[in-house]
């Protein structure tokens, strides 16, 4: 539990088994936000693991998630990232599907009339029913859409467990959401490294100059580390260090820049919000595919999209609440500059994940050491701990059977 072999991040067979066991069965995966598809016919393309899916608003106002694979010859028929459609039509042979994924039309189904006779076409016993697109099981809570290919999966609420669900509901409490924008990046590292990164309170006050210099996350920050009963999901909870001298906390920390100042002080125009209920930052990791970020006034969904054992796409959806004032929306946008591919903070994470993957590939038989805070995987109240990562790998080993 406190040692992880490097091959866990590089082995292609292990990666394929992870997709089958974590993404394609037994787990809820993040798809998107309802606010991205407000009107009937609106759709947005997403992924579950490496499989392309489409989140769509049906005519009755419901939400469906359909696999982006034509039932005829397997073509990915939807290439647009988002849009509005009355139906989906595969460009290859023009098979048509309604917004619920049901097959509605096949060209020349009854053949072609030539010289007064019908020739070709589908067999007489062909049935349209049951020939539609693969439809995933869907869960919607607080405006957030999850889906699974596994229709026997437990409820989303049971999947999260009461502790993590309470932190999810802290953000998604029924208020309507407003999409502010997107960032996308491709990171040359194993997908699990991003889950680890946001289960790791040890690194932010050491790696990130912004966090340690301006007190958003450092060794004297009040911290709490929470998990679900299976230890797959986690909440990393912190309170900003305000009005405290840095002192010994930053002694020897090379990322601390005592003379660093902001040309635009609005980047730190932080306004406490009632719904925070104390913490200034809560980073939720929902295994396997989602990070929910609340770092002061900045809010975003971070979607992990595996593309191989050594690379993943990372998609950020920045959002606000519909009832936010114009000033708060501008504040959220400004603080979003901390995050994303070139963010003041997140650029560091993408780089060190790449560095880690480079090391793993050189020596696959070596092991990572995860002993900060001990050998157990219990909840903790300090940053000098890797307990959340140990918990995740305890769960990983149980599911993977290793």
SS (H, E, C) 16-33: HHHHHHHHCCCCCEEEEE
Identify the weakest region by mean pLDDT among 27-36, 129-138, 198-207.
Answer: 198-207
Domain limits, CATH 2.102.10.10, in the chain: 29-138
Going from the C-alpha of 169 to that of each of 1, 258, 275, the distances in angstroms are: 30, 38, 10
pLDDT of the residue at 262: 81
Q: Is it the case that residue 193 has pLDDT exceeding 80?
A: yes
**179 SS3 class:** strand
Q: Are 45 and 26 in contact (CB under 8 A)?
A: no
Residues forming a β-bridge with 147: 29, 138
Select 29-138's CATH number: 3.40.50.12780, 1.10.10.10, 2.60.40.10, 2.102.10.10: 2.102.10.10
The neighbour count for residue 149, using CB atoms within 10 Å, is 21
User: pLDDT class for 317, splitting at 50, 70, 90?
Assistant: very high
More confident site: 328 or 347: 328
The neighbour count for residue 255, using CB atoms within 10 Å, is 17
pLDDT tens for residues 15-39?
999 999 999 999 999 999 999 999 9
Residues 340-345: contacts with CB within 8 Å, 24+ apart? 340/183, 340/185, 340/316, 341/183, 341/184, 341/185, 344/210, 345/204, 345/208, 345/210, 345/211
User: pLDDT class for 346, splitting at 50, 70, 90?
Assistant: confident
Identify the weakest region by mean pLDDT among 24-33, 119-128, 146-155.
Answer: 119-128
Mean per-residue pLDDT, 177-193:
97
Q: What is the pTM assigned to this prediction? A: 0.95
The distance from CA 233 to its chain's CA centroid, rounded to whole angstroms, is: 12
Distance CA 191, CA 270 (A): 32
Mean per-residue pLDDT, 365-377:
95
Distance CA 155, CA 148 (A): 11
What is the biggest distance separating any 2 CA atoms in the chain, rounded to whole angstroms? 93
pLDDT of the residue at 122: 94
User: Could you tell me the CATH superfamily of domain 161-400?
Assistant: Naphthalene 1,2-dioxygenase Alpha Subunit; Chain A, domain 1 (3.90.380.10)
Q: Is it the case that residue 1 has pLDDT exceeding 60?
A: yes
pLDDT of the residue at 264: 85
């Amino acid at each position: 539990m406190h040692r992880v072999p490097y091959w866990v991040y590089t082995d292609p067979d292990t990666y394929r088994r992870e997709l089958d066991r974590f993404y394609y069965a037994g787990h809820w995966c993040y798809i998107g936000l309802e606010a991205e598809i407000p009107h009937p016919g609106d759709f947005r393309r997403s992924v579950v693991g490496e499989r392309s899916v489409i989140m769509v608003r049906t005519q009755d106002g419901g939400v469906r998630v359909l696999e982006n694979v034509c039932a005829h010859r397997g073509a990915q028929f939807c290439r647009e990232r988002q849009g509005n459609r009355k139906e989906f039509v595969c460009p290859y042979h023009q098979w048509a599907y309604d917004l619920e994924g049901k097959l509605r039309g096949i060209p020349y189904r009854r053949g072609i009339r030539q010289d007064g006779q019908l020739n070709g076409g589908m067999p007489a016993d062909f049935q349209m029913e049951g020939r539609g697109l693969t439809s995933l099981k869907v869960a919607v809570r607080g405006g957030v859409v999850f889906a699974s290919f596994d229709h026997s999966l437990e409820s989303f609420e049971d999947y999260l467990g009461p502790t993590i669900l309470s932190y999810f509901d802290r953000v998604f409490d029924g208020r309507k959401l407003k999409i502010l924008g997107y960032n996308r990046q491709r990171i040359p590292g194993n997908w699990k490294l991003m889950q680890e990164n946001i289960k790791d309170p040890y690194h932010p006050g050491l790696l990130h100059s912004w966090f340690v210099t301006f007190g958003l996350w450092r060794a004297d920050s009040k911290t709490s580390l929470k998990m679900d009963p299976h230890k797959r999901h986690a909440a990393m909870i912190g309170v900003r260090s305000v009005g405290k001298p840095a002192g010994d906390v930053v002694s020897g920390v090379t990322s601390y820049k005592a003379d660093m100042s902001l040309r635009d002080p609005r980047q730190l125009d932080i306004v406490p919000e009632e719904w925070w209920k104390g913490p200034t930052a809560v980073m939720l990791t929902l295994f396997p595919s989602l990070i929910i970020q609340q770092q002061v006034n900045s809010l975003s969904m971070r979607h992990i999209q595996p593309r191989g054992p050594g690379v993943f796409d990372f998609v950020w959806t920045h959002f606000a609440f519909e009832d936010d004032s114009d000033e708060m929306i501008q504040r959220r946008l400004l603080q979003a500059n901390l995050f994303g591919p070139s963010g003041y903070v997140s650029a560091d994470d993408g780089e060190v994940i790449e560095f880690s993957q480079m090391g793993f590939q050189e020596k696959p038989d070596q092991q990572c050491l995860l002993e900060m805070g001990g050998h157990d995987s219990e909840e903790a109240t300090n940053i000098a701990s890797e307990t959340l990562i140990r918990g995740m790998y305890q769960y990983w080993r149980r599911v993977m059977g290793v």
